[in-house]
Structure 1
Amino acid sequence: MESSTKKVYLERADATGNVVVTELIAGESLIVRVAETWFHPQGGGQKSDRGTIGPARVLHVAHNGGMVDHFVDSLAGLSVGGTYGFAVDSAWRTLNSVYHSSGHLIAGVLESLQHGLTAVAGHQWPGEARVEFEGPAEASGFDGLATELSTRLRELLSKSIEVKVTGDPYSSREIQIGDFPPIPCGGTHVRALSEISVIRVLSIKRKGNRVRVAYDALPP
């Protein structure tokens, strides 16, 4: 039976530490596998972490069944069974956490403003972020809705509202922002809304049977 990588990032946000290499894969892509990882793999609407493991630069991280693959620039200096220091690119992690938490906040606020809308998908990549909703909404009112949403977001960002991880990190993990309903999520997030400088609503449009909110966000 194939072993699995323990995804420690689900419960801890350490940016540095040590990992034990369990497998090195040389081929078209160079892959490092470790017993436990603090690197968030791409998925759930969030870009992957990047950083270093020992002398290798981690360029991309991806789920592979129960394993997590760390795509690196070189395997030189690494050996199976060896223990190496790791470092997650903190600035990149922070930016993606800001975008992810912003998407959750937009979902909660818009659902409270338009009770017929339900958030069903999020794509929180910097430069192309959006949250998608299903439900009735008139396109003729989208300009006013965008203004109302933007105003409410600014109000919430001015307060010290906690962003909490609830449930079991490995089986029932949810993210809750203040009093908004918790949302199942395996991504990384800010600890409080004060860690988000601004959320800009770029547009609200209907795309097929969905309402799409495009946005960008910045850390302080």
Structure 2
Amino acid sequence: MQKTEALYQKDASLQTHETTISSITPVSDLPQDLQTLFKTLESGQPYVVTTPQTIFHAQGGGQPTDTGSIILSHSGEEAVFKVHQVRKADPAILHMGTFTPADSTLKIGQEVKQVVDWGSRVLNSRLHTAGHVLGLAIRSLSRTGVLPADLKEVKASHYPGAAFVEFQGLIAGDKKSAMQEKVDELVRQDLDVTIHFWSEEEAKERCAVVLEGVKGGEEGVRVVEVGGLGSYPCGGTHVQRLRELGRVVVRNVKRQKGISKVSYEVVEA
């Protein structure tokens, strides 16, 4: 498959983008390993559309897929490809969805406009950034002795209604208020959130968390930095300043088999 340039990784503020069609394939005609990337739709004939560039975030890194539309105009008529799921299949990014009307005829090379469901994108970006802020807050409390010094961030999910950060090590339930206070303090500082592309060596040296197997692309390892607090290797979308988070609420702390799971949500301030 042709390579897709992930425009959202450099500019997550893009709500629309004009590009062309690279390929259109019924999901049933894809190789089996690619078919398994997608969840079955309840209705409609699903297709996969690829384009040279995309502003749609592909599911991964604990962040859910973007949704939206790819609008196609031809012969004086308009057809809409409703994007339900987006997945990576290097070097391509696959947009899976259905056409309206269902019998639309399309051509490779046709000009189209991508439109992201912006409300969903903003929520996902707030949750993803909030997860990093929570991790950095806990890291700070660990350094100052409020929390155990041996805590190690090992996993995170930033899905609406199911967002959490997991740590190797035990966090006592009575530390929830301390974590909330620290998170509130960081958000009040309204720090900027910036994207960098660093070498693998620099990322391993400077990032707060570097999971095994992190590798850079052509431009290096994509890193998100929260003010001067710390940075994470990350392919997701984020807010530009912490005031955009609203309020980050620490919901619960669960401990099992040496792992502490801290759940959270974002609400309007």
TM-score, normalised with respect to structure 1: 0.91
Contact 2:136 2:230 in 1 (8 A): yes
Long gaps (5+) in structure 1: none
Between the two proteins, what is the percent identity of the paired residues?
Answer: 28
Contact 2:133 2:186 in 1 (8 A): no
Contact 2:2 2:52 in 1 (8 A): no
2:120 to 92, 102, 121: 92
Contact 1:101 1:189 in 2 (8 A): yes
- Secondary structure class of the residue paired with 1:73: strand
Contact 1:94 1:219 in 2 (8 A): no
| AA at the equivalent of 2:93 | V
Q: How does 1:108-127 map to 2 (within 5 A)?
A: 108-114=136-142, 115-127=149-161
Q: How does 1:138-157 map to 2 (within 5 A)?
A: 141-143=172-174, 145-157=175-187
Cα distance in 1 between the residues matched to 2:106 and 2:268: 35
- Secondary structure class of the residue paired with 1:167: strand
Deviation at 1:83, TM superposition (A): 1.0
| CA deviation profile, 1:113-168 (whole Å, cap 9, x unmatched) | 12321211111000011101113x3x5x322x110011111122222211111125
Q: Does 1:46 align with 2:63?
A: yes
Deviation at 1:17, TM superposition (A): 1.8
Flag the structure with larger Rg: 2
Partner residue in 2 for 1:178:
227
- Secondary structure class of the residue paired with 1:174: strand
| AA at the equivalent of 1:11 | K
- Secondary structure class of the residue paired with 1:173: strand
Cα distance in 2 between the residues matched to 1:43 and 1:31: 18
Partner residue in 2 for 1:166:
196
| AA at the equivalent of 1:147 | S
Partner residue in 2 for 1:7:
6
Kindly tell me: are residues 40 and 219 of structure 1, through their superposed partners in 2, closer, same or farther at Cα, counting changes over 3 Å? farther
Kindly tell me: are residues 128 and 27 of structure 1, through their superposed partners in 2, closer, same or farther at Cα, counting changes over 3 Å? same
Partner residue in 2 for 1:198:
247
Cα distance in 1 between the residues matched to 2:105 and 2:54: 19
Contact 1:20 1:35 in 2 (8 A): yes
| AA at the equivalent of 1:62 | R
Deviation at 1:109, TM superposition (A): 0.6
Partner residue in 1 for 2:163:
129
Cα distance in 2 between the residues matched to 1:217 and 1:79: 42
TM-score, normalised with respect to structure 2: 0.75
Partner residue in 1 for 2:212:
none
Aligned residues: 215
2:51 to 34, 47, 54: 34
